[in-house]
Structure 1
Amino acid sequence: MGEFWPVPDALTYLAGSWRVERTVRDLAGGEEGEFSGTTIFGPLDGGGLLHHESGLFVWREVPRPAERTLRFLPGSPPGTADVRFTDGRPFHDLDLTSGRHIADHPCSADLYRGEFTVRDENHWHSVWRVRGPAKDLVLSTDYARED
């Protein structure tokens, strides 16, 4: 088995429930936080998946509930996904056919660069590097499929 695990269809692969562990590092301030929770990719009316993540985020030793929702729509070419915010704005594309994908998302003057790596049928990883005048962050997330 190689370093990456190719996925012929991103939406089929992601469907279901995943355990999430994330570290968040602020490179400018030296602070570190962590998120632990669950991401569920459920069916979306009209096709695609509704991504809902919820859990506990600890920052500066203060735990607080956190959640987010995204829409993963069928992309072009087939097997890829078009990831959007809940209001329909584009976030990034996702092509896991090689087992690895890099996507950019400009946000005001900051640039989010995401690297997605599929390790096997039940594990994948993402790293978002955020650089700009407002942020200097690294968000590293491990996903493990739940039964």
Structure 2
Amino acid sequence: MGEFWPVPDALTYLAGHWRAERTVRDLASGDEGRFAGTVVSGPLECGGLLHRESGAFTGRGVTRPAGRTLRFLPGPGGTADVRFADGRRFHDLDLTAGRHVADHPCSADLYRDESTVRDAGHWRTVRRVRGPAKDLELTTGYARVD
């Protein structure tokens, strides 16, 4: 099947319940943290998906609740237009080849997301954040639970 698993429609693939495990590495300081939780991607009234992560983040010996909400809107040809919860554009997501790289400038920092799909129940994102304010690498593995 190859290294990547093609996804003809990102929204159909991402819908449902997922387990998420994320490692956050601060490349400047060497600090590392971990997020573990769940993701529910359910339908939006206007089309698309509401992607809600909830769980716990552990860093520097302290564990606290953590989460985020994104909107995945329909894009052309089975792609998704990824938005922040407030509607601001984040990046596009094209999984038709099973792999996609997208950039998002934020102030003076650049976020580069590489998303890869392994199979029907596993995908991953590696987010590299570089700039004067941040030097981070966030790796998130998703496993379908429904």
TM bracket (short chain): over 0.9
Amino acid at match of 2:51: H
Could you tell me which residue of structure 1 aligns to residue 58 of structure 2? 58
The residue identity in structure 1 corresponding to 2:142 is Y
1:35-63 deviation line (CA, Å, top 9, x unaligned)? 00001100001100000000000011100
TM-score scaled to structure 1, two decimals? 0.98
Aligned residue pairs: how many? 146
Identity of aligned residues (%): 77
Match of 1:131 in 2: 130
Q: Which residue number corresponds to residue 144 of structure 2? A: 145
- State the 1:12 CA deviation: 0.2
Structure 2 stretches of 5 or more lacking a match? none
The one-letter amino acid of 1:54's match is: S
> How far apart in 2 are the matches of 1:78 and 1:88?
21
Q: Which amino acid aligns with 1:109?
A: A
Structure 1 runs not aligned, ≥5 long = none
Name the residue aligned to 1:25: 25
Q: How does 1:40-51 map to 2 (within 5 A)?
A: 40-51=40-51
1:87 offset after TM fit, Å?
1.3
Looking at structure 1, the residues matched to 22 and 67 of structure 2 have their Cα atoms a distance apart, in angstroms, of 13
TM superposition outliers: structure 1 runs of 4+ over 6 Å = none
Scaled by the length of structure 2, the TM-score of the pair is 0.99
SS in 2 for 1:140: strand
Root-mean-square deviation (Å)? 0.5
Report the alpha carbon displacement of residue 106 of structure 1 after superposing the two structures with TM: 0.5
3-state DSSP class of the match of 2:78? Answer: coil
Measured in 2, the distance between the counterparts of 1:139 and 1:38 equals 17
